[in-house]
Structure 1
Amino acid sequence: MAKKNQEDPLAGLEKAYAQWQWLFENGGSDPTWPDGVNLNLMRNHIIYFKGQIEETCPLYMADALYLRELPPEVDQNYMANPDKIREQARRSLQAYQADPNYQYLLRHRDSLTPKQSKELCVGAVLGYAASLRDSIARDDLVEMRRHREPERYLESFQDCADKVRQALESSDPNLFDMAAEEENDTPDMGMTM
């Protein structure tokens, strides 16, 4: 059985150098690891492709790409554009806290039974903002980077708020809540005796 054609090591080397450079300048989107971890992984890819050239295509060893200097090893915790990540995280948190659906969930989370709250994932959805607030306080750039595009989380707030509205509209009215609403809706006439 014939082996599948593997990637040309020179093309792989060119791609690995380009990815390393892009990641170093722009940062990645890995939700778990800092850019430094991925940069060092890309560096290992470069070493691998250079080794492949030495073993299988020694004529490529004269190519300028092969002769290009190996990128440096970087600190595992390196993050590209940390100030930009921090600023975007602050803006995302402000957007979450100002969102009417987020505000609705905060106001109505205690109106649900524990079972409803769990089924509708209210705690998890509200946890997005709490987690981001905590990440900002700890300066956790990897966690903050997850919130670069707040629209995804804002959609979760809306989806969850819609489900909570449906659950509250379809559930039996809570007599204590009704009494409290009546008390708040009744104008204060003052007590006369």
Structure 2
Amino acid sequence: MAQTENSVTAYDVEDWKNKGRTQMSPAERESWLNEGQLLLTDYAEGIEREWELIKFYGQLLAAVADWCIVFLKGAHGPKWTDGQELNYKRRRIEYQQEEMITHGFFIPPEFADLPPEMDVNYMRGRENIKKNAKAALKQILENPDYQFVADHASFLGRIQTACMRIRPDEVTGRVGKLQEAVEKNDFPGMRRYADADPVIAAAAVCRAEMEPALDDLNPF
């Protein structure tokens, strides 16, 4: 695995040890020790080289695996498309290949070719992303708690909302980002915000805190 010729192996070291168990003259013993010093030095350097190769090979393998995961399942970046993410990971693979060559290792044949460069607008499952985003937006807009928050948010100022665990603008702001993403075909944005459950839960908490504050504005 060290990818070097005539490298010293554990078998060579064992042979040298066995040779030392035989009867030798003082001169032969000294020659044997000198040989062993060189042999063990080369063996230690070979082990260090093996570990270096394992490190580089592992980094290259991880970079390839990352690319494959995004290609098969899509990315989860809030701003990048899958195409942008794949091209970034492709550059990482290329960098790891260059690092191996720079340090004197050859690229394993199965990883010699770079993956294709992707269209920057590529998104895996783009139709499902938009479908899920629209469904989430519809679910939120039809939710009574969200409707209450949206309808009454303008009645409360900063003083009334400062101590709330979840402010009205935090709820409506996230929904506004989802609406904007759907309107502009922003697929990373749709994927990021297309989860109705946390918004609906936040709206319920916000409404529970808004109602007493609104009652204080209308004491009669």
Same fold by TM (over 0.5)? Answer: yes
Cα deviation for residue 160 of structure 1 reads 1.8
Structure 2 counterpart of 1:92, one-letter code: A
Report the RMSD for the aligned CA atoms in angstroms.
2.4
For structure 2, the residue ranges without an aligned partner over 5 or more in a row are 1-50
Structure 1 counterpart of 2:101, one-letter code: E
Structure 2 counterpart of 1:17, one-letter code: V
Matched ranges for 1:2-17 at <5 A: 8-17=55-64
Cα deviation for residue 64 of structure 1 reads 2.9
Structure 1 counterpart of 2:152, one-letter code: H
Deviations 1:58-85 (A, max 9, x none): 1x43x23332x20111122222211011
Cα deviation for residue 50 of structure 1 reads 0.7
Count of residue pairs the alignment pairs up? 167
Matched ranges for 1:13-52 at <5 A: 13-52=60-99
In the alignment, does 2:185 pair up with 1:131?
no
Instruction: Quote the Cα distance in structure 1 between the aligned partners of 2:162 and 2:190.
Output: 25
- Return structure 1 stretches of 4+ with deviation > 4 angstroms: 117-120
Cα deviation for residue 20 of structure 1 reads 0.8
Instruction: Quote the Cα distance in structure 1 between the aligned partners of 2:208 and 2:104.
Output: 61
Q: 1:102 aligns with which of 138, 146, 149?
A: 146
1:91 corresponds to which residue?
Answer: 135
Q: Normalized against structure 2, the TM-score is what?
A: 0.66
User: Could you say which structure has the larger radius of gyration?
Assistant: 2
Structure 2 counterpart of 1:71, one-letter code: P
Relative to structure 1, is the Cα distance of residues 65 and 162 closer, same or farther in structure 2, using a 3 angstrom cutoff? Answer: farther
Deviations 1:95-138 (A, max 9, x none): 11122210221233244245425665313321222322222121
Q: Which has the higher contact order (CA 8 A, sep 6+)?
A: 1
Query: Aligned to 2:124, what secondary structure does the other structure show?
Result: coil
Relative to structure 1, is the Cα distance of residues 57 and 163 closer, same or farther in structure 2, using a 3 angstrom cutoff? Answer: farther
Relative to structure 1, is the Cα distance of residues 66 and 138 closer, same or farther in structure 2, using a 3 angstrom cutoff? Answer: closer
Query: Aligned to 1:54, what secondary structure does the other structure show?
Result: helix
Residues 129 and 191 in structure 2, CA contact (< 8 A), matched pair in contact too: yes
Cα deviation for residue 45 of structure 1 reads 0.9
1:182 corresponds to which residue?
Answer: none
For structure 1, the residue ranges without an aligned partner over 5 or more in a row are 179-193
Q: 2:109 aligns with which of 45, 57, 64?
A: 64
